[in-house]
Amino acid sequence: MADHASRQGHRYDSPEILAYLNELHAGHDLALASAFAAPELHGLPAIQVGMSEGKLLALLLRLSGAKKVVEFGTLAGYSAIRMAQALPVDGRLWTLELEARHAAVARGNIAAAGLSKRVEVLVGPALGLLPTLEPEGPFDAVFLDADKGRYDLYGHWAAINVRQGGLLLVDNAYYFGQLLDQSPDAVAVRRCHEEAAQAFDTVCIPTPDGLLLGIKK
Ligand code: SAH
Ligand code: DHB
Ligand code: MG
């Protein structure tokens, strides 16, 4: 039956079904609602993870008992707040953001969520921030969601800096449907997949744009 669906490429979801399930299983408190609405409100790109993807990140962190997490790509702090809410009170999330304007909006949302003690927003190109972050490691989980053209380098960093049994999570794992293209960015995302498959036990979860999950070997 399920074979049928996947073999023939059928999908059984619909916008109505997904909206119902998002509200039921992945609804927002006030802080999440503000952070989710923030990009549009502040003229930032509205490219935050979906409601169910954000909730999935949170549940995976809880399942794995994560305490120290690194996020690449903060935007307005929506996924950061989802993940930080899933950490114990002494947990830490470091989230890396290139754009000072995005980081400022995120810090406001994180403060309103009461999570400023648990979350640190670091501003600059992620690769430049990593050397100062490394002494805090090894980390329990890394979530990649920044510039896709450097996913190969970020995935390599995660393979080194995630503890055994820790998680790698990667948004846009289908690279907007262009994963098999020859563009440099598509190649970088594929390299990330290939390196992840070596260093982690992996599966690509079929969210709208794919979410790679790995457990460090
Ligand atoms: N994780 C967020 C969405 C991130 S969108 C959420 O789900 O709520 C991607 C973000 O990565 C953007 O804010 C963009 O400014 C940032 N970004 C792009 N290139 C970057 C780089 N080199 N280093 C750090 N952040 C980068
Ligand atoms: C874009 C980035 C993302 O991380 C995403 O989930 C969707 C879109 C983008 O850069 O357009
Ligand atoms: Mg994304």
Q: Is there an atom of ligand 1 within 6 Å of 185 CB?
A: no
pLDDT along the chain (217 residues), means of 10: 59 95 98 98 98 98 98 99 98 98 98 98 98 98 98 98 98 98 98 98 98 98
Ligand 2 pocket, residue 48 CB under 6 Å: no
Give the H or E element holding residue 32: helix 30-41
Residue 70 lies in a domain: yes
Residue 96 neighbours by CB distance under 10 Å: 25
In a domain, 22, yes or no: no
Q: Name the one residue in this structure whose structure tokens are 């896709």.
A: 148
CB neighbourhood size of 195 (10 A):
20
Closest CA to 193 of 161, 217, 164, 168: 168
State if residue 147 touches ligand 1 by the CB under 6 angstroms criterion. Answer: yes
Residues 6+ apart with CB under 8 A from 125: 98
pLDDT value at residue 18: 97
Ligand found nearest the CA of 130: 1
Say how many domains are in the chain: 1
Chain centre distance of CA 94: 12
Query: Does residue 67 sit within a domain?
Result: yes
Whether 9 is covered by a domain: the verdict is no
pLDDT of residue 44: 98
**Residue 9 CA to ligand 1 centre (angstroms):** 32
User: What CATH number has the domain bearing residue 63?
Assistant: 3.40.50.150
Residue 12 is assigned to a structural domain of this protein: no
The pLDDT value recorded for residue 9 is 73
6 assigned to some structural domain = no
Q: How far is the CA of 6 from the centre of ligand 2 (A)?
A: 26
In a domain, 158, yes or no: yes
1-24: b (≥16 Cβ within 10 Å) or e: eeeeeeeeeeeeeeeeeeeeebee
**In the prediction, which pLDDT does 4 show?**
52
> Does the beta carbon of 145 lie inside 6 Å of ligand 2?
yes
* 11 within some domain: no
Is 178 close to ligand 2, i.e. is its CB under 6 Å away? no
Residue 197, classed as helix, strand or coil, is: helix
Query: Which segments of 65-178 does DSSP mark as H helices, in order?
Result: 78-85, 100-112, 126-133, 151-161
Structural domain of 95: 31-216
pTM comes to: 0.97
